[in-house]
């Protein structure tokens, strides 16, 4: 019931920016235009829906497609006990999206992770540096064009007899 | 003054580095550097088939591997629309609650040991040893079990499982009583944990906290209650809540949660549905049955403990779902009939096996630290296109910088211990 | 106390014994291995089991856990070593004083284990020399004790002239 409500409300509030609403395996998926992220996030965070928890934030690399990167956001509303998934596409050349750090504090690390692994820039992020990999590491390991076994050692490795 | 803590520091679990800016002993600012255990889990899993990446899930939260197995298996079941038999669901509940106890015991062991309470460390690890004995007895591995499979569990319970489980619960209860006695009103412990690193419910939600840490701030959110999975709604248990959200509450919530877990196990033991196919030839223990079979023909065939390579086909109805395409065919068939052999090859051959429909799925279970979520994107082949883990302690530890601000250096240790950082799922 | 042999009788009666210097040195070293547990991952859990009352490695004379490399004789690398962690491990090893021994605890430390990818060092012997390898993912405490006894045999055989022996 609430699910329909929120989807209707989103459609009403952002008629231009919401591009597609579909459903799969029992989950609703809302696709939106990347420029509207902050507005939609604020709308979800506020009353009456109170999707106050940024559950997860990640990226999928669709190599070979024009809009290569797909950002995936999961929100949780504790009062409604409901999850919602939002998706948006970013172009291959200089992928950029607004940062959610102004609303959710855990977005800080999550976005650093996506920056580290996929090379996506977040506008307005206070401290956008690598989180898992080290300084001097070249490339973004979770991109599909990064080879699985390409290692970049930090120190000289010993030779084995 | 600037001071560096870790990563090679006993209280930093070897995988975290904290740079502290101090005024005397007071922390003005801090910065965390993580990623020392980034093992490329997600990328590696994208190169494995759906069936063969299961062992990687064991090694994420390595203190409660069975819950990780369950999370992954249930995500796949959601995608493949499989139903799991009731008995398998109950076995899963028992094993997951045992894992939860072992997770909390380890968290408390580390937290108290780092504060100097070495006795508690020895006691809790002793209790964990009893729990691991039960897990080993059932799954034939102590830690990395890979026991919960897509569509059910690997094998049925051992015939003597009830006695083992009862012993483990009695011993764990004894230990918990001792720990309560040692720590609850211990002045040193209270001084080090009471009102240290207080987290408000708003802050916890803003940081995406889940699990015992969120509940310690007083927010009643437990996935086992909120959206019950795997028959958790059949059991009666309470969700302990904290009041202040400080280190002591996080300790206490974990302690009481273990008692509730044992309540669930006891109920599951009572309510466990009967298996249709008995495990052994009537009235015989495995060793006896083998011995007897050497002398004479045992009527009805010998049914060995399923963990050995014995007869298991009859038990599939109790413990595995009927989706033939998604479960490993029984070994007897593979070895004895050509049809079975073909089924076996089809399951394991490259490009075959489990091939879920195109699409994406998110599912989460209540892990030892909180909401353990899997986000899997399938492109219709036998390998996941994207495999992402929502690690609960990643969100919890991201609040550490704010939690320790304004406290003393010594407070970093219990605060960090109370977040229960587990490197495997934290850095992935 | 069971039966004493001749030498032990002499020693306990306030007499004196003669032995080789290397042997007594090795005997002394092998039963007082102070170790530095370099714990990063899953194997640390089994290390904890081995250390605690249930399995208790104090029985083998390695009771002292030292969290400073300068006081440790034996480096126990439990868990996966990533390329980010590699310089840390190297520093810890370099800080240890001679004589020192290294044990690779678990499949990841031995060979990288199941993590054959961009982030993980394929075996710690690519960074530091290793004396004993323990297989298993993770190894059971019993396997660890087996390795410990093997290391003690090795320590016994090593003479006082380690300083002149070439170690790479």
The residue extents of the domains of chain A are 2-108
State the average pLDDT over residues B382-403: 90
Confidence (pLDDT) at B314: 66
The pLDDT value recorded for residue B298 is: 52
User: How far, in Å, CA of B42 to CA of C156, rounded?
Assistant: 45
Chain B's closest residue to C49, CA to CA, is B125
Pairing of the two strands B26-33 and C101-105: unpaired
User: Is B237 or B307 the better-scoring residue by pLDDT?
Assistant: B237
In a domain, C18, yes or no: no
Q: What is the pLDDT of residues B151-186, one digit of tens each?
A: 888 887 877 788 888 989 999 999 999 999 988 888
pLDDT on residue A63: 85
Pairing of strands B26-33, B17-23: antiparallel
- pLDDT bracket for residue B280 (50, 70, 90): low
Which string of DSSP letters, residue by residue, matches C40-54? -STHHHHHHHHHSTT
- Confidence at B101, pLDDT banded by 50, 70, 90: very high
Q: Which of C35, C48, C75 to mutate to test the interface with B (most CBs of B within 10 A)?
A: C48
Number of domains in chain C: 1
Three-state DSSP at A160 gives coil
Reference B85, options B421, B327, B351; nearest CA is: B327
The correct answer on CATH 3.30.460.80 for the domain covering A2-108 is: yes
> Does A154 contact C86 at a Cβ distance shorter than 8 Å?
yes
Phi, psi of B28 (to 5 degrees): -85, -45
**Other CB atoms closer than 10 Å to residue B396's CB: what's the count?**
29
Closest residue on chain B to A145 (Cα): B43
Please indicate whether, in this complex, the C-beta atoms of B402 and A105 are within 8 angstroms of each other: yes
- d(CA C130, nearest CA chain A) in Å: 11
A-contacting residues in C 126-145 (Cβ below 8 Å): 126-129
Q: Please indicate if any CB of chain A lies within 8 Å of the CB of C125.
A: yes
What is the Cα C87 distance to its own chain's centre? 20
User: Does residue B406 belong to the interface with chain C, where contact is any CB pair within 8 Å?
Assistant: no
Mean pLDDT taken over chain B: 84
For an interface test with C, give the residue of B10, B38, B39 to mutate (most C CBs within 10 A).
B39
CA dist A137 and A129 (Å) reads: 12
Contacting B residues, span 134-153, partner chain C, CB-CB under 8 Å: 142-144
Q: Which residues of C touch A140 (CB under 8 A)?
A: none
Chain C: partners with 3+ C-beta pairs within 8 Å: A, B
Q: What's the pLDDT score for residue B347?
A: 85
Residue B305 has pLDDT above 50, yes or no: no
Q: How far is B418 from chain A (nearest CA, A)?
A: 18
Q: Is the pLDDT of residue B65 over 70?
A: yes
pLDDT over 80 at B289, yes or no: no
Could you list the residue range(s) of the whole structural domain that residue C111 is in? 30-154
pLDDT higher than threshold 60 for residue B148: yes
| Chain A residues within 8 angstroms (CB to CB) of chain B | 24-27, 29, 52-56, 58, 60-61, 72, 74, 78, 81, 83, 85, 104-106, 108-110, 117, 130-134, 141-142, 146, 148
Contact B227 A29 (CB under 8 A): no
The per-residue pLDDT for C1 is 46
Nearest to B362 by CA among C146, A26, A117, C38: A26
Higher pLDDT, A116 or C15: A116
B79 within 8 A of B357, measured Cβ to Cβ: yes
CB contact under 8 A, A106 and B362: no
Whole-number percent of chain B with pLDDT over 70: 90
Contact criterion met (CB < 8 Å) for A154 and C118: no
Query: Which residues in chain A have Cβ-Cβ distances shorter than 8 Å to B42?
Result: 117, 142
| Whether A94 contacts A120, CB under 8 Å | no
pTM for this entry: 0.88
By C-alpha distance, the chain C residue nearest B106 is C45
| pLDDT tens digit sequence for C23-55 | 888 888 888 888 888 888 888 888 888 888 888
C19 found inside a domain: no
CATH of the domain at C141: 3.40.50.12280
Average pLDDT over residues B342-357: 84
The predicted-structure confidence for B366-378, as pLDDT tens digits, reads as follows 988 888 999 999 9
- Does the pLDDT at position C4 exceed 70? no
User: Is-contact A58 A114, C-beta < 8 A?
Assistant: yes
- For residue C108, tell me if it sits in a domain: yes
* pLDDT interval class at B256 (50, 70, 90): very high
- Its sign, for the CA torsion B345, B349, B352, B353, is positive
Q: Are B89 and B250 in contact (CB under 8 A)?
A: no
- Which partners does chain B have (≥3 C-beta pairs < 8 Å)? A, C
In a domain, C124, yes or no: yes
Q: Do C110 and C78 contact (CB within 8 A), yes or no?
A: no
Structure tokens belonging to residue B399: 């609040």
Mutate to test the interface with C, among B13, B16, B37, B144 (most CBs of C within 10 A): B37
CA within 13 Å, CB half, B392: 25
Residue C78 lies in a domain: yes
- How, if at all, do strands A53-61 and C35-39 pair? unpaired
Q: Do C127 and A158 touch (CB under 8 A)?
A: yes
Model confidence at B104, pLDDT cuts 50, 70, 90, reads very high
- Comparing A88-97, B20-29, B96-105, B275-284, which segment has the lowest mean pLDDT? B275-284
Q: Residue written as tokens 């889940």?
A: B210
- Each of the 161 residues of chain A gets a pLDDT tens digit; together they read 456 677 888 888 888 778 888 888 878 888 888 888 888 888 888 877 788 888 888 999 888 888 888 999 998 888 888 888 889 988 888 888 888 888 888 899 999 999 988 889 898 888 888 888 888 888 888 888 888 888 888 888 887 76
Please, which pLDDT band fits residue C161 given cuts at 50, 70 and 90? low
Q: Give the one of A134, A151, A155 whose C-beta lies nearest to C90's C-beta.
A: A155
3-class secondary-structure state, position A22: strand
Quick check: A156 contacting C, CB < 8 Å?
no
- Cβ(A113)–Cβ(A52) below 8 Å: no
What domains can be seen in chain B, in order of their start residue? 2-276+354-427 (1.10.645.10)
Give the nearest chain C residue to B53 (CA atoms).
C114
CA dist B350 and C110 (Å) reads: 29
Q: Work out the burial of residue B201: count CB atoms within 10 Å of its CB; fewer than 13 is exposed, 13-18 middle, 19 or more buried.
A: middle
List residues bridging with C102 in a β-sheet. C75
Alpha-carbon distances, residue B178 vs A125, B174, B268, B380 (angstroms): 48, 6, 26, 53
The predicted pLDDT at position C60 comes to 82
Is pLDDT above 70 for C165?
no
């Amino acid at each position: 019931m609430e699910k329909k409500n929120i989807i209707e409300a989103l459609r009403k509030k952002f008629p231009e920016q919401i591009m597609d609403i579909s459903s799969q395996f029992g989950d609703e998926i809302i696709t939106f235009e990347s420029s509207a992220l902050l507005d939609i996030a604020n709308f979800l965070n506020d009353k009456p829906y109170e999707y106050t928890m940024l559950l997860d934030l990640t990226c999928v690399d669709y190599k070979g497609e024009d809009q290569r990167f797909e950002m995936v956001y999961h929100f949780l509303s504790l009062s409604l006990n409901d999850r919602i998934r939002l998706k948006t596409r970013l172009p291959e050349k200089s992928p950029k999206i607004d940062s959610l750090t102004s609303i959710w504090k855990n977005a800080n690390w999550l976005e650093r992770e996506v920056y580290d692994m996929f090379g996506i820039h977040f506008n307005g992020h206070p401290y956008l540096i690598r989180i898992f990999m080290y300084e001097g590491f070249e490339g973004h390991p979770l991109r599909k064009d990064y080879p699985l076994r390409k290692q970049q050692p930090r120190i000289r490795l010993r030779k084995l007899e | 003054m600037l001071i560096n803590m870790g990563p090679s520091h006993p209280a930093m679990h070897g995988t975290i580095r904290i740079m502290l800016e101090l005024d005397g002993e007071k922390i003005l600012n801090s910065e965390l550097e993580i990623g020392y255990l980034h093992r490329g889990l997600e990328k590696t899993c994208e190169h494995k088939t759906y069936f063969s990446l299961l062992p990687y899930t064991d090694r994420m939260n390595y203190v409660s591997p069975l819950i990780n197995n369950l999370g992954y298996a249930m995500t796949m079941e959601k995608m493949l629309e499989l139903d799991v038999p009731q008995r398998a669901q109950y076995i899963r509940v028992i094993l997951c609650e045992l894992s939860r106890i072992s997770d909390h015991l380890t968290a408390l062991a580390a937290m108290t040991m780092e504060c100097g309470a070495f006795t508690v460390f020895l006691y809790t690890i002793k209790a964990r040893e009893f729990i691991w004995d039960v897990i080993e007895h059932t799954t034939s591995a102590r830690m990395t079990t890979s026991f919960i499979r897509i569509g059910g569990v690997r094998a049925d319970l051992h015939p003597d499982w009830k006695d083992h489980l009862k012993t483990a619960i009695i011993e764990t209860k004894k230990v918990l009583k001792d720990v309560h006695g040692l720590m609850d009103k211990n002045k040193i412990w209270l001084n080090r944990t009471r009102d240290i690193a207080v987290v408000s419910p708003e802050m916890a939600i803003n940081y995406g906290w889940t699990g015992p840490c969120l509940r310690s701030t007083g927010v009643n959110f437990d996935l086992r209650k909120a959206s019950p999975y795997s028959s958790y709604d059949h059991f009666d248990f309470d969700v302990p809540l904290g009041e202040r959200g400080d280190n002591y509450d996080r300790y206490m919530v974990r302690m009481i949660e273990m008692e509730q877990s044992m309540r669930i196990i006891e109920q599951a033991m009572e309510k466990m549905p009967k298996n249709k196919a008995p495990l052994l030839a009537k009235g015989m223990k495995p060793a006896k049955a083998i011995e007897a079979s050497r002398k004479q023909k045992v009527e009805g065939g010998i049914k060995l403990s399923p963990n050995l390579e014995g007869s298991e086909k009859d038990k599939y109805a109790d413990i595995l779902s009927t989706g033939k395409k998604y479960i490993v065919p029984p070994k007897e068939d593979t070895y004895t009939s050509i049809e079975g052999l073909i089924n076996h090859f089809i399951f394991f051959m490259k490009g075959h096996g489990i091939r879920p429909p195109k699409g994406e799925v998110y599912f989460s279970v209540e892990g030892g630290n909180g909401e353990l979520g899997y986000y899997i994107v399938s492109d219709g082949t036998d390998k996941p296109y994207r495999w992402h883990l929502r690690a609960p302690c990643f969100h919890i530890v991201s609040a550490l910088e704010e939690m320790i601000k304004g406290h003393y250096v010594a407070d970093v240790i219990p605060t960090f211990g109370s977040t229960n950082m587990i490197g495997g799922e934290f850095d992935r | 106390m069971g039966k004493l042999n001749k030498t032990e009788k002499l020693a306990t009666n306030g007499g004196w014994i003669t032995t080789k210097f290397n042997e007594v040195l090795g005997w002394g070293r092998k039963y007082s291995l102070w170790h530095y547990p370099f714990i990063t991952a899953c194997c640390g859990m089994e290390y904890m089991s081995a250390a605690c009352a249930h399995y208790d490695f104090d029985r083998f004379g390695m009771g002292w856990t030292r969290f400073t490399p300068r006081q440790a004789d034996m480096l126990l690398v439990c868990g996966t070593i990533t390329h980010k962690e590699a310089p840390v491990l190297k520093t810890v090893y370099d800080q240890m004083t001679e004589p020192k021994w290294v044990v690779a605890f678990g499949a990841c430390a031995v060979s990288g284990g199941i993590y054959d990818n961009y982030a993980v060092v394929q075996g710690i012997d690519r960074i530091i020399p290793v004396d004993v390898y323990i297989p298993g993912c993770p190894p059971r405490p019993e396997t660890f004790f087996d390795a410990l006894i093997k290391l003690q045999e090795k320590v016994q055989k090593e003479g006082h002239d380690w300083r002149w022996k070439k170690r790479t």
